[in-house]
Amino acid sequence: MHGTVRFSLRRPDRGRLEEAWGSKGYMEVRQLPHFHVAPCCKSLSTANPRTGSIKVSSGDLENIAAELKRLSAQMEVLPALIENIKAIQTELMELRAIRTEFSDMKASIEFVHEAMESLTCKVSILEQDIISVKKTKDDVNTLQHRVEKLENLHHESEQRSRMNNIEIKGVPMTNSENLFTIVAKIGDIIKCPIPKDKINYVARVPMRNDKLNKNIICSVHNNYLKSDFVSAAKKHKNLKSSDLGLQGDNTIYINDHLTLQNKMLLNKTKTQAKDRGFEHIWIQGCNIFIRKNNTSPRLHIKNEQDLKKFLS
């Protein structure tokens, strides 16, 4: 094998080595003064103490060539390694960006978690408020039921206190009128006189929608006297104020003395019952009754719920 090989040599004063192939089949390297062989090459050479030359065998050269070939092969893959490293760096940058996004997402999740905890707390408070409101509503319903019951009892008591009262409507007012005389004249006309000693009191009371005219209320000793008087007046139709010797031609109406609530209920009953073809509407014992026809059962109207029940 012939050729020239460079070796890694080192000397302090940068000297040069003369190299040449000898005739004995190995290369002689003549060392100039003060040159030293680098440590990396000492294992590959042997120095001749007499001549100062370094002998390198062909086997060592083959090893060196193989090593250089191996290094060259490794160098060939170096660009690919560099590209891989760049790709890894790019991926690392992307991972850093993803990590930042994850950090932001974590912060957002923590914010949402805190908001959910706050909302859960508010919902819990609202649930307690709802329970309290529901209890209050139940209490209000209970109280309302009790109030309605008390109102009904009060109304029944008020109506019961009028059970013996006769209401006379349509009699003109005069300055010198005598109400006992008027009641006595009406009793004579309808043929149901009431003795004066059977009358508790007679008085005029104001009307809700008419301040000029006032109805006459006559309270008698018992309900039988009142019922007989009212029934007799119903049979004597078209009783006029002129029949009593008074001016005008007003029609006189004689009825049970109803409370304002029952009067309003009676007016509603008359309107709705007539609209639905009921032929009979009457008052008996301060109670309101209706009947579809002569063969139908009578229906007792006590309140507006009964109106909805029977006339809806």
Q: How confident is the model at residue 54 (pLDDT cuts 50, 70, 90)?
A: low
Q: How confident is the model at residue 53 (pLDDT cuts 50, 70, 90)?
A: low
Q: For residue 57, give Cα distances in angstroms to 18, 46, 48, 131.
A: 17, 9, 14, 104
Q: In what order do the strands lie in the sheet with 165-169?
A: 199-206, 214-220, 165-169, 253-256
Output 231 or 24, whichever has higher pLDDT.
Answer: 231
| Tokens 């060196």 found at | 64
- Specify the range with the lowest mean pLDDT, choosing from 7-16, 53-62, 215-224: 7-16
Q: How confident is the model at residue 4 (pLDDT cuts 50, 70, 90)?
A: very low
Task: State the average pLDDT for the chain.
Answer: 83
Share of residues in the chain with pLDDT > 70 (%):
82
Q: Per-residue pLDDT for 3 more than 80?
A: no
Q: How far apart are CA 107 and CA 126, in angstroms?
A: 28
**pTM of the prediction?**
0.58
User: What are the residues facing 161 on neighbouring strands?
Assistant: none
pLDDT in tens, 157-181: 999 999 999 999 999 998 889 999 9
Q: How confident is the model at residue 248 (pLDDT cuts 50, 70, 90)?
A: confident
Read off the pLDDT of each residue in 208-229 and give the average, rounded to a whole number: 90
Q: What is the pLDDT of residue 129?
A: 93
Residues 6+ apart with CB under 8 A from 21: 2, 27, 28
Q: How far apart are CA 51 and CA 28, in angstroms?
A: 10
Q: For residue 232, give Cα distances in angstroms to 36, 188, 239.
A: 160, 11, 12
Neighbours of 246 (CB within 10 A): 18
Q: For residue 172, give Cα distances in angstroms to 3, 78, 193.
A: 159, 130, 21
Q: What is the pLDDT of residue 49?
A: 54
Q: Per-residue pLDDT for 250 more than 60?
A: yes
